[in-house]
A and B are shown apart, each in its own frame.
Chain A
């Protein structure tokens, strides 16, 4: 047990870095109500900018401090630009579109960073003082880690002073509680929001720069740190600084000990802690129930049956899709098969997110569960494809039922965060349980039966399953169950007052969405012949979100259009430019700014122009 003290200190050092990033995220969320996906990218930029500055300075401690401060200023400045150019334009858009916009920013910043600094990891050459050790309890401990441990509480203290002892801080706290009221009292919201964003970005930059001596500037920082920061912020309670600090300590120490004691399930452990905290304290350790932002509670438009013209268009598109194998070549047939998978993937997410009102950041989990269910059944008992295609939705549905039972009481952002956490757990299991899942190497050799071997036949199968699934889900939405689900979303109080069981309605929605998504995962796997943990990554989940939000939440046709547009766009971009992330991200941001109700929603609005909704 000699390792307890050093391990504890390592954990505390990790907690400090985590806190720097999480505190910025939580402050920004508190005031602007934006879940800033690009916060990790700001930290990444902080690391890269820090590297560029620090490698040009002498390697003495005082220069290090100066360089870090310069980095903080630079990142804060980038934050200001981001806020003014992008976020300011989407404050009035629905929460999820803001999220989408910030994810667009993530993509843009990824390519900008790649373009400026190149793909190679950039370690910081460490000066002598950075290599010094301190003897503690008989073991040598890096001095830099001790400094890091101090930085956390110092920053917390400074932030506390800023928030509680200055007029500006009072305004920020007031805006966190009720921003409309603060605006009504004549406070300039614009400058306040910009300043808050700059502060948050600066903190992320500080975290990035301070992480350099222990790691490096690399392109994976953004998504890796944003997951951890989300966990910390959610566990601590959204908008609570002290909560973020406590949660950072908890998670940091857990990670440090987890790596030693249970290396294989550290990731799972972290997310389990988050799940447990949220079950007992649905608003996080120190969070308070969120006040609804008033302007966001605009009623969703009435869903009416599609106009005949649109139906005709749909039928025409379907006929064209059926005839496609005779028209297009092999390559496009693959793209079209992928599009079929994407349609079911997006439609299933839309089911729980639109009518169900439960946004999922981890929809890829069901996709992966379906895929692995089919793959493992084949590996264990040689189950053929039809069995696999049947087992996938069943397996995903069962897991979704357990998960749904667990999360259904949570509200809004917290539920979304738990979906993200759950997807990360599934990913970790598939990635780390090598004996069963093959880990990174995946499951290979998923064979199609002879009759479906031909790419065209398989395309038709995929088309039939995906369109059939989509139509089935649509049918449910127009049936009493779908209406009841929508009723529970529109007004839970009214729904209960007419005798609806809101929680059961929601759990079933999660199950149906999970099962349909599981099927799409299995189709995809049989199409590719192999299964990898990458099916369950955050970026895959975000793809589903992108499709749904691009198409628009408020129409049933929306996710289908979104899936097609996204698949087409991604295909064209990937083949035509190396900077496809940059272009895709920019397109997303532009779309959100231009069509906050999605493509289908905007088309519907134009269609209905001059008539009453």
Chain B
């Protein structure tokens, strides 16, 4: 049974088709990479699954239930966690408070006006921080974290909701190569341990081939290939767009 099933997703912007009839599925514990040159429609696809964009056509099913066109908030409630291309965290809180916030939301405890946040869900928060390796920095202000640590914090926040599906938009953008591998290995481990399905876009081909179970290749809004690392590497159409024209984008 797939966690996420996307069928016939399409979106046009002012007559230009950004995504046309894209279908795929992700299973629990599976890491599915969405790749393609700039402008291929990765982000559009991604934002339709995450609720930031409303698709023109097609459906998005999460564990069999339609979440097509729901708000980001409702999609989060349905069990989707996400990280952003440019990290988005709560800058006026400590690292631990960021995770506590997500836990409070997960436990539906936001609309409480009396009992302080301090001390709530501490064990759970610290366990999540330990999983991403941030336990030593729990007391620090989010604003002073290194960029790689912010990315890991985002991951911890996303996991607090116990998501069935994790959406990661360019998770390693802006990170040093060593950090990239570390973050994706971590994601890989968490996905396997927790049985979370992971859909991510990525420019770094090393990362993609290293950690993903399956790869989808988009070009001009259309799905042109799908398969594991080896078959994608061997796929002539993929070689055409990545190597044939010389228009690679960010591969190392």
Is there contact, CB below 8 Å, between A481 and B112? yes
* Chain A, residue nearest B120 (CB): A480
**Complex CA distance for A482 and B117, rounded to whole angstroms:** 9
A325 CB → nearest B CB, Å: 32
Q: Of the candidates A475, A484, A490, A501, which one forms a contact with B104 in the assembled complex, judged by CB atoms under 8 Å apart?
A: A484
Q: Of the candidates A490, A498, A505, which one forms a contact with B91 in the assembled complex, judged by CB atoms under 8 Å apart?
A: A490
Q: Mark A110-139, 1 if CB is under 8 A from B, else 0.
A: 000000000000000000000000000000
**Complex CA distance for A404 and B102, rounded to whole angstroms:** 25
* Chain B, residue nearest A485 (CB): B110
What are 26 A-B contacts defined by CB distance under 8 Å? A299-B91, A299-B143, A302-B93, A302-B94, A476-B114, A478-B116, A478-B118, A479-B115, A480-B109, A481-B111, A481-B112, A484-B110, A487-B101, A490-B90, A491-B88, A491-B89, A491-B90, A494-B89, A494-B90, A495-B90, A496-B73, A497-B50, A497-B82, A498-B160, A499-B161, A554-B92
* Chain B, residue nearest A500 (CB): B105
Is there contact, CB below 8 Å, between A498 and B76? yes
A378 CB → nearest B CB, Å: 30
In the assembled complex, B46 has its CB within 8 A of some CB on chain A: no
Is there contact, CB below 8 Å, between B84 and A494? yes
A499-B157 contact given A487-B90, A490-B93, A491-B91, CB 8 Å threshold: no
B71 neighbours in A (Cβ, 8 Å): 496
B142 neighbours in A (Cβ, 8 Å): 299, 302
Q: Of the candidates A301, A476, A481, A612, which one forms a contact with B110 in the assembled complex, judged by CB atoms under 8 Å apart?
A: A481
**Complex CA distance for A446 and B123, rounded to whole angstroms:** 55
In the assembled complex, B202 has its CB within 8 A of some CB on chain A: no
Is there contact, CB below 8 Å, between B73 and A501? yes
Q: Mark A491-520, 1 if CB is under 8 A from B, else 0.
A: 101111111111001000000000000000
Is there contact, CB below 8 Å, between B105 and A479? no
Q: Mark A457-498, 1 if CB is under 8 A from B, else 0.
A: 000000000000000000110111111101101110111111
Is there contact, CB below 8 Å, between A499 and B76? yes
A326 CB → nearest B CB, Å: 34
B44 CB → nearest A CB, Å: 17
In the assembled complex, B194 has its CB within 8 A of some CB on chain A: no
A302 neighbours in B (Cβ, 8 Å): 92-94, 97, 141-143
Is there contact, CB below 8 Å, between A493 and B144? no
**Lowest 10 CB-CB distances: which A-B pairs, in order?**
A299-B91, A494-B88, A299-B143, A300-B92, A490-B90, A499-B76, A302-B141, A491-B88, A478-B116, A496-B72
In the assembled complex, B20 has its CB within 8 A of some CB on chain A: no
**Complex CA distance for A475 and B84, rounded to whole angstroms:** 32
* Chain A, residue nearest B71 (CB): A496
**Complex CA distance for A489 and B101, rounded to whole angstroms:** 13
**Complex CA distance for A476 and B104, rounded to whole angstroms:** 15
Is there contact, CB below 8 Å, between A301 and B143? yes
In the assembled complex, A313 has its CB within 8 A of some CB on chain B: no
A479-B89 contact given A299-B143, A484-B105, CB 8 Å threshold: no
In the assembled complex, B221 has its CB within 8 A of some CB on chain A: no
In the assembled complex, B57 has its CB within 8 A of some CB on chain A: no
Is there contact, CB below 8 Å, between B88 and A497? yes
Q: Mark B165-205, 1 if CB is under 8 A from A, else 0.
A: 00000000000000000000000000000000000000000
* Chain B, residue nearest A355 (CB): B92
Interface size on B, residues (CB 8 A): 43
In the assembled complex, A303 has its CB within 8 A of some CB on chain B: yes
* Chain A, residue nearest B160 (CB): A498
In the assembled complex, A613 has its CB within 8 A of some CB on chain B: yes
Q: Of the candidates A303, A494, A501, which one forms a contact with B92 in the assembled complex, judged by CB atoms under 8 Å apart?
A: A303
In the assembled complex, B77 has its CB within 8 A of some CB on chain A: yes
In the assembled complex, B113 has its CB within 8 A of some CB on chain A: yes
A289-331 CB contacts (< 8 Å) to partner B? 299-303, 305
Is there contact, CB below 8 Å, between B114 and A475? yes
B60 CB → nearest A CB, Å: 16
A230 CB → nearest B CB, Å: 29
B157 neighbours in A (Cβ, 8 Å): 494, 498
A483 neighbours in B (Cβ, 8 Å): 93, 97, 100-101, 104, 117
Is there contact, CB below 8 Å, between B77 and A299? no
Q: Mark B45-86, 1 if CB is under 8 A from A, else 0.
A: 000001000000000000000000001110011000110100
Is there contact, CB below 8 Å, between B106 and A479? no
B144 neighbours in A (Cβ, 8 Å): 612-613
B117 neighbours in A (Cβ, 8 Å): 478-480, 482-483
17 extra A-B contacts, CB within 8 A, seeds A303-B93, A483-B97, A499-B77: A302-B94, A302-B141, A302-B143, A305-B118, A479-B112, A480-B112, A481-B112, A484-B105, A486-B90, A487-B101, A490-B91, A491-B91, A494-B84, A494-B90, A497-B84, A498-B101, A554-B92
* Chain B, residue nearest A297 (CB): B91
**Complex CA distance for A481 and B117, rounded to whole angstroms:** 9
Q: Of the candidates B115, B116, B141, which one forms a contact with A612 in the assembled complex, judged by CB atoms under 8 Å apart?
A: B141
**Complex CA distance for A489 and B111, rounded to whole angstroms:** 16
B104 neighbours in A (Cβ, 8 Å): 480, 483-484
In the assembled complex, B239 has its CB within 8 A of some CB on chain A: no
B233 neighbours in A (Cβ, 8 Å): none
A496-B76 contact given A302-B141, A481-B113, A486-B90, CB 8 Å threshold: yes
Is there contact, CB below 8 Å, between B76 and A497? yes
Between A305, A497, A499, the greatest number of chain B beta carbons within 10 A of the residue's beta carbon is seen for A497
A111 CB → nearest B CB, Å: 38
A478 neighbours in B (Cβ, 8 Å): 116-118
B50 neighbours in A (Cβ, 8 Å): 497
